[in-house]
Amino acid sequence: MKREILARILLLALCLVVVLIPLALRDRSLTLRARMPEDDGWSPQVIQAAAGQPLRLRLTSEDVTHGFAVGQMEMASVDVLPGVVSEVTLLFDEPGIYTFFCTRWCGLNHWRMRGTIEVSGGDAPALADAPLYVALGLDIDAPHPVPGVPSQIPSAARGGQLAEIVSLAEFSTPEYYRAHSPYQVYQDLVSTNLNAAERWDVVSYLWRSQTTAEGLAEGARLYAQNCAACHGETGGGDGVFADQLAASGQSSSQTMHGSMSARTPADFTDAQNMLGASPALLQGKLMRGGMGTGMPMWGVIFTEEQSWNIIAFLYSFQFQYQGVTR
């Protein structure tokens, strides 16, 4: 008799285990559907997860091919194909708010295709430092044209030769670089008694010295992936979406405080604009976005280091870096 009861209990326990284990496992996997941003983008748009616990996602698209990646995290992007389910497992070490985003150019509003993963856990998330432009009190929305531009493209290699004969110590710190526009540095260099063309070459050299070949390569890669569609492959502000962006601005410019021209992607080959912008200003714009212009906000996607690499790359549309390695 006793044995029979024991057997029944065991059987019941076994059944429970057989039923509950798959249920428990299934609970942790979540289906994330992708659609064009016009048709609501991701669903769900907010995902809950816990630090230290794997989050299994089943990704699928209901229209075109999209891509999936999480900002500020080392991960390869995952293709999200129509009618196919791709699985990805994420593990968050730290609690906090993460942004996931589409990595395939699926249309003009592609960059709006973002969602949030709220990762709970023991400690409160560390607050990210405010971007440098805030500490410097910069108005990043003010126009910043320079009164004069170099007569030839400044060369870092020529600047490097001059660096051997003049003292540049005070101009060579990362703090000084980030807080000054190339034009301000060009003016500060008057103290070296170099002529105008030479001073521009030195500026080019100083800018190149604040990055590395690897930093520029990462900047170029992130630019091609995320910026070229609007700002153009070669920085001219003429990417494939530039016209559409202007057209969409026409209908909404009456209601937005931004003017039509503010909807045109910035032209990084325009010396008058670029040489008047400090790295902190450009990084601020990148991290915060245009707020009402077509310029997206990237602070949730790039790490600080990535943002400085992109900014260093943007200046390469102004300066001649050939012949400089490191």
Where does this chain touch ligand HEC (CB under 6 A) — which range of 39-47, 79-87, 121-129, 227-235?
227-235
CA atoms within 13 A on the CB side of 195: 2
Report how far apart, in Å, the C-alpha atoms of 7 and of each of 4, 12, 15, 20, 37 are: 5, 9, 12, 20, 57
Report how far apart, in Å, the C-alpha atoms of 65 and of each of 43, 149, 221, 239, 325 are: 15, 44, 21, 21, 39
Q: Please tell me whether residue 296 binds ligand HEC under the rule CB under 6 A.
A: yes
Q: Please tell me whether residue 145 binds ligand HEC under the rule CB under 6 A.
A: no
Binder of ligand HEC out of 262, 297, 300, 324 (CB under 6 A): 262
Q: In what order do the strands lie in the sheet with 66-70?
A: 46-50, 114-120, 96-101, 66-70, 78-80
Q: Please tell me whether residue 286 binds ligand HEC under the rule CB under 6 A.
A: yes
Pairing mode, if any, of strands 42-43 and 114-120? unpaired
Shortest reach from residue 23's CB to ligand HEC, in Å: 42
CA distance 71 to 99: 5
Bond from prior residue into 174 cis (ω within 30 degrees of 0): no
Where does this chain touch Cu ion (CB under 5 A) — which range of 105-113, 187-195, 215-223, 307-315?
105-113
Q: Please tell me whether residue 318 binds ligand HEC under the rule CB under 6 A.
A: no
Nearer Cβ to Cu ion (113/295): 113
Q: Of all residues in this chain, which one has the CB nearest to ligand HEC in the complex?
A: 290
Nearer Cβ to ligand HEC (55/312): 312
CA distance 178 to 106: 34
Shortest reach from residue 74's CB to ligand HEC, in Å: 18
Residues of this chain, 50-79, that bind Cu ion according to CB under 5 A: 66
Check if the beta carbon of residue 93 is closer than 8 Å to that of residue 51. yes
Nearer Cβ to ligand HEC (150/294): 294
Q: Inter-axis angle of helices 304-314 and 213-226, to 10 degrees?
A: 90
Where does this chain touch Cu ion (CB under 5 A) — which range of 86-94, 97-105, 140-148, 282-290?
97-105
Nearer Cβ to ligand HEC (106/230): 230
Q: Which residues, 6+ apart, have CB-to-CB distance to 285 below 8 Å?
A: 140, 295
Binder of ligand HEC out of 96, 160, 232, 294 (CB under 6 A): 294
Where does this chain touch ligand HEC (CB under 6 A) — which range of 98-106, 120-128, 286-294, 318-326?
286-294
Q: Which residues of 45-65 are buried (b: 16+ CB within 10 A; e: fewer)?
A: eebebebeeebebebbbeeee
Task: Provide the 3-class DSSP secondary structure of residue 81.
Answer: coil
Binder of ligand HEC out of 158, 180, 199, 231 (CB under 6 A): 231
Partner from Cu ion, ligand HEC, none contacting 277, C-beta within 5 to 8 A by type: ligand HEC
| Residue type, position 140, single letter | I
Contact letters for Cu ion, residues 107-146 (x by CB under 5 A): ------x---------------------------------
Comparing CA positions, the residue from 167, 169, 176, 175 lying closest to residue 194 is 167
Q: Please tell me whether residue 277 binds ligand HEC under the rule CB under 6 A.
A: yes
Residues in contact with Cu ion by the rule CB under 5 A: 66, 102, 106, 113
